[in-house]
Amino acid sequence: MSLADRPAPGCACGIDVHAHVIPHDLPRHLGNAVPAGWPSMAPAHACHRHVMISGKVYRTVSERAWSPSRRVEDMENMDLAVQAISPMPELLSYWMAPHAAAQLLRYMNEQIAEMAALSGGRLVGMGAVPLQDLGLALAELDYLADKLGFRAIEIGSNINGKPPGAPEFDEFFAACAEKGVSVFVHALKPAGVERLVGPDKLLPALAYPTDVGLAAASVLTSNLIGRHPALKMAFSHGGGTLASLLPRLEQARKVFPALLDAMPASPSEQARRLYYDTLVFDPFALQHLLERFGPDQLMIGTDYPFAFHDARPVASIAAAVADPDIRERLVSRNAARFLGIAVRAPASNP
Amino acid sequence: MSLADRPAPGCACGIDVHAHVIPHDLPRHLGNAVPAGWPSMAPAHACHRHVMISGKVYRTVSERAWSPSRRVEDMENMDLAVQAISPMPELLSYWMAPHAAAQLLRYMNEQIAEMAALSGGRLVGMGAVPLQDLGLALAELDYLADKLGFRAIEIGSNINGKPPGAPEFDEFFAACAEKGVSVFVHALKPAGVERLVGPDKLLPALAYPTDVGLAAASVLTSNLIGRHPALKMAFSHGGGTLASLLPRLEQARKVFPALLDAMPASPSEQARRLYYDTLVFDPFALQHLLERFGPDQLMIGTDYPFAFHDARPVASIAAAVADPDIRERLVSRNAARFLGIAVRAPASNP
């Protein structure tokens, strides 16, 4: 393999920051009344299970969702050396009573830690915290960082409607920055659903990137990274609509003094301090992100194991990026920095 | 002026499809109780007036909002030959009782027609209809097309929360297509406001392009243009977030059969049949739109006379587009086709 071809499809060198876990079983609720929306698993066809929420099948998933060995097998075909695994976002449970959510997320974090432990270093844990309660969220942050050794967490693009830039989360993100825990922001219960005309699947197709774009914008307009420069924060689905919102936000800051006060630094410049995954399904769109955000902020995101995922993430980057050094940053180096891990030597090299 | 420089700043050849009117006076409501939110005008400082809504100053505007001569004077400095003038979107009044809204919009349409008549062909009317009531909307469409000679109307990015692709507007758009009346979709009462963190001005900065993007997406997911191929429909603010939503929508259509059923044609291809203004304040963003939508769909939009407008629209295009033929399409030819008017010879030529 010549230097110019690296990293390229077949390298087995990619690091994926966006992949989800659903355990084979979910726990019974410990306590009196089972909270509304407490999820459970039910049998489905061979190697599959139903995620049940409020008595209905929320999604049917295969063993890929819980089996570390099956996942590592697929990672070979996806050219991935390492994958960060986080809960299916619907399990984040911000809408549940805080102690119930804390119970469920503790279970998820331990399941994720166990999968990582069984993977021979191929899977790393990305945990979750009950952000609807600052005290419980800080306690779980301590637990997953200090006891489980996680270096990253997943949060929703909004927490019961509040985006990450809202002031109530400031203290939590200060703690993440101090502990060196990176934050991956994933689409969840998005805004704008009332504007969709057509099948339900328009929700992940259109409303997810819309909500992620507004979430990322909230981090810029609240100057969150300016106030916590050590915080590493990433956004799913290429940051959603953020790249297209930036020029107008930049111009608005020049026109309206109130926006200049709110954003002491240029939002376009601040956006180049956030991280984004590459899950945009289009070489031209990826080039657009690279131009807007720079070569050090993009990292592979696949959304494995769901149907709407990128099965060839290294090829997707290779199709958009000619420069081998920049390619390598997108394929592995940026994610390694974000996740606080070493870049692996390509597994296919002797 | 050499051919390669045309059209360039100084040409006075641009056609602007996105500019607004507020009359010097608004009418008294004819009827019993004045509807909530019925707007009025009140004196302000020299050459300025307040738009009053529900007893508060909604916006303070200068004589540029109503004076044809003042506007034409500014158009010289903006390199504009022609400007289509439409109501300030807040006056569209979809939230008002239908007959009251019809009364207000009839007045607006006549004010706009009068401004156009006084302009020596430099201003063309873009009217409005009470889309909350199909019968009244069709009647006003007839009036403005047949009596006032308008070839375009402005509508909101949603009508009381429903985007233009919603089925209840289908019959109205069929009538527009049949009459050869083009439709300009402008941001209005946007979705996603609950995700903004910071000053009020984030609403036009971030929520406007978000709502326009979802409005344009609704037109694609409902196959509106596929069903009415003669309909010409344009979107403000460069189509908002649409360009960044398209690749994921395209991929979703490949993954989910329900989306393939809803969209018989590729949404990226259908998007190249819609029109968009150039109001993106950034050469790279404009190039991105040109790549996504093609050279025949972009037209000058300035948002004159409001503070957050593009005062040098021809220069903005010249900064992004090197090819003189494509430049000319964006500066005037596409808008002339959309508005059903002739391209003017550059006014600065003898």
Q: pLDDT, tens digit, for every residue of A281-307?
A: 999 999 999 999 999 999 999 999 998
The pLDDT score that the predictor gives to residue A12 is 84
CA–CA distance, A5 with A13 (Å, rounded to integer): 13
Interchain pair B213, A282: CB under 8 A: no
- Residue A155: CB atoms within 10 A of its CB come to 26
B343: buried, middle or exposed (CB in 10 Å: 19+, 13-18, 0-12)?
middle
B99: buried, middle or exposed (CB in 10 Å: 19+, 13-18, 0-12)?
middle
Query: What is the SS3 assignment for A41?
Result: strand
For residue B210, what is the nearest residue in chain A, using CA coordinates? Answer: A210
Taking the CA atoms of residue B322, residue B328, residue B334 and residue B340 in that order, the dihedral angle to the nearest 10 degrees is 170
CA–CA distance, B59 with A346 (Å, rounded to integer): 61
Q: Work out the minimum CA distance from A243 to partner chain B, whole angstroms.
A: 8
Residue pair B303/B65 in contact (Cβ under 8 Å)? The answer is no
Which residues on chain B are in Cβ contact (under 8 Å) with A244?
209, 213, 240-241, 243-244, 285, 288
The pLDDT score that the predictor gives to residue B345 is 56
Query: What is the SS3 assignment for B262?
Result: helix
Interchain pair A241, B158: CB under 8 A: no
Taking the CA atoms of residue A66, residue A70, residue A74 and residue A80 in that order, the dihedral angle to the nearest 10 degrees is 70
Interchain pair B191, A194: CB under 8 A: yes
Which residues on chain B are in Cβ contact (under 8 Å) with A216?
none
Residue A185 neighbours by CB under 8 Å, 6+ apart: A154, A155, A156, A157, A164, A212, A215, A216, A233, A234, A235, A236
CA–CA distance, B173 with B193 (Å, rounded to integer): 28
Interchain pair B281, A251: CB under 8 A: yes
Q: Work out the minimum CA distance from B319 to partner chain A, whole angstroms.
A: 15
Alpha helices in chain B (DSSP H): 68-77, 98-117, 134-142, 170-179, 202, 208-221, 224-227, 242-255, 257-262, 267-271, 283-293, 313-320, 324-328, 334-339
Most A CBs within 10 Å: which of B248, B261, B284, B303, as the mutation test of the A interface? B248
- Judged against a pLDDT cut of 50, whether residue A1 lies above it is answered with no
Q: Which parts of chain B sit beneath pLDDT 50?
A: 1-4, 347-350
CA distances from B82 to B3, B238, B244 (A): 21, 19, 30
Interchain pair A165, B244: CB under 8 A: no
Tokens of B7: 């059209």
Query: What is the SS3 assignment for A333?
Result: helix
The closest CB to that of B248, out of A163, A205, A245, belongs to A205
For residue B246, what is the nearest residue in chain A, using CA coordinates? Answer: A206
Which residues on chain A are in Cβ contact (under 8 Å) with B165?
197-198
Tokens of A7: 């990293």
Residue pair A227/A173 in contact (Cβ under 8 Å)? The answer is no
Which residues on chain B are in Cβ contact (under 8 Å) with A212?
none
CA–CA distance, A151 with A126 (Å, rounded to integer): 7
The pLDDT score that the predictor gives to residue A97 is 96
Buried b (16+ CB within 10 A) or exposed e, B55-89: eeebeebbebbbbbeebbebbeebbbbbbbbbbbb
CA–CA distance, A348 with A9 (Å, rounded to integer): 11
Residue pair B205/A267 in contact (Cβ under 8 Å)? The answer is no
CA–CA distance, A348 with B106 (Å, rounded to integer): 72
Look up residue A204 and give its DSSP letter.
Answer: I
pTM of the model: 0.95
Interchain pair A280, B248: CB under 8 A: yes
Tokens of A340: 């606080």
The pLDDT score that the predictor gives to residue A7 is 76
- Judged against a pLDDT cut of 50, whether residue A348 lies above it is answered with no
- Judged against a pLDDT cut of 60, whether residue A137 lies above it is answered with yes
Q: Work out the minimum CA distance from B265 to partner chain A, whole angstroms.
A: 14
Residue B222 neighbours by CB under 8 Å, 6+ apart: A197, A198, B165, B166, B167, B262
CA–CA distance, B297 with B242 (Å, rounded to integer): 14
Interchain pair B291, A284: CB under 8 A: yes
The closest CB to that of B214, out of A192, A217, A237, belongs to A192
Which residues on chain B are in Cβ contact (under 8 Å) with A282?
247, 250-251
Interchain pair A252, B209: CB under 8 A: no
The closest CB to that of A252, out of B204, B245, B282, belongs to B204
| Exposure of A160 in the CB half-sphere (CA atoms within 13 A) | 12
CA nearest to B279, candidates B239, B306, B245, B252: B239
CA nearest to B304, candidates B8, B79, B26: B79
Residue pair A184/A152 in contact (Cβ under 8 Å)? The answer is yes
Tokens of A162: 């509040």
Residue B66 neighbours by CB under 8 Å, 6+ apart: B21, B22, B23, B24, B111, B115
The pLDDT score that the predictor gives to residue B6 is 63
Tokens of A232: 């590493």
CA–CA distance, B154 with B158 (Å, rounded to integer): 12
Residue pair B93/B104 in contact (Cβ under 8 Å)? The answer is yes
CA–CA distance, B123 with B339 (Å, rounded to integer): 11
- Judged against a pLDDT cut of 90, whether residue A156 lies above it is answered with yes
Q: What count of CB pairs under 8 Å joins A to B? A: 206
The pLDDT score that the predictor gives to residue A345 is 56
- Judged against a pLDDT cut of 60, whether residue A350 lies above it is answered with no
Q: Is the ipTM of this complex over 0.85?
A: yes
Which residues on chain B are in Cβ contact (under 8 Å) with A199?
256, 258-259, 261-262
Mean pLDDT on A151-171: 98
- According to DSSP, the β-strands at B56-62 and B48-53 are antiparallel
CA–CA distance, B124 with B131 (Å, rounded to integer): 22
Question: What are the pLDDT digits (tens) for A200-235?
Answer: 999 999 999 999 999 999 999 999 999 999 999 999
The closest CB to that of A195, out of B198, B209, B215, belongs to B215
Computed over every residue of chain A, the mean pLDDT equals 95
Write phi, then psi, for A199 (nearest 5 degrees): -60, 160
